[in-house]
Amino acid sequence: MKINGPSSTSSTGAARGAGRAASGGGFSVTVDAADEAAEAQRMAGLDGVMTVSALLALQGVEDPLSRRKRAMGRASRILDMLDDLKVAMLEGAASPATLDNLAKTVREQRETTDDPRLEDVLNQIETRAAVELAKLGRTRAA
């Protein structure tokens, strides 16, 4: 749609005069079919992007940063449990609840990350926890 400013009195032509008479003032509005088609085409392209299924699909995509944060949080929990276990062993009273919590956390499925160095550190933490659980399990059995 195209809006023209006030038309001058020097303009000639029946179409321009009819537009001015129809609008009742000094402005005329002309609608270009090509402009309307281009606008409709542009708006139709947005319709496919903004569907509910597309939005839900975008929400389901997980970025590597969130996976990394969750993996680091899990590793931090395991390290905290190992510290608690160390303190309990120094006091001579390693509780079964502490061992059960540590074993449960180690058994949880770990998410993979894109950082090989982080994966290596996570493997070392899990190995240390598994060794401590094995030593305490053998000590309890004896």
Domain locations in the chain as residue ranges? 2-59, 64-141
The overall pTM is greater than 0.75:
no
Question: Which two structure tokens, joined as six digits, stand for 133?
Answer: 């659980």
How many percent of the chain have pLDDT more than 70? Answer: 56
Instruction: Grade residue 28 by pLDDT with cuts at 50, 70 and 90.
Output: low
Rounded distance between C-alpha atoms, residue 70 and residue 39, angstroms: 45
Rg for the chain, CA atoms, rounded: 36
Per-residue pLDDT reduced to its tens digit, 34-79? 777 777 666 665 555 556 666 666 666 667 788 888 888 888 999 9
Token look-up 């537009």 returns 19
Rounded distance between C-alpha atoms, residue 63 and residue 68, angstroms: 9
Strand partners, 30: 2
Per-residue pLDDT reduced to its tens digit, 128-137? 998 988 888 7
Question: Which two structure tokens, joined as six digits, stand for 33?
Answer: 């079919």
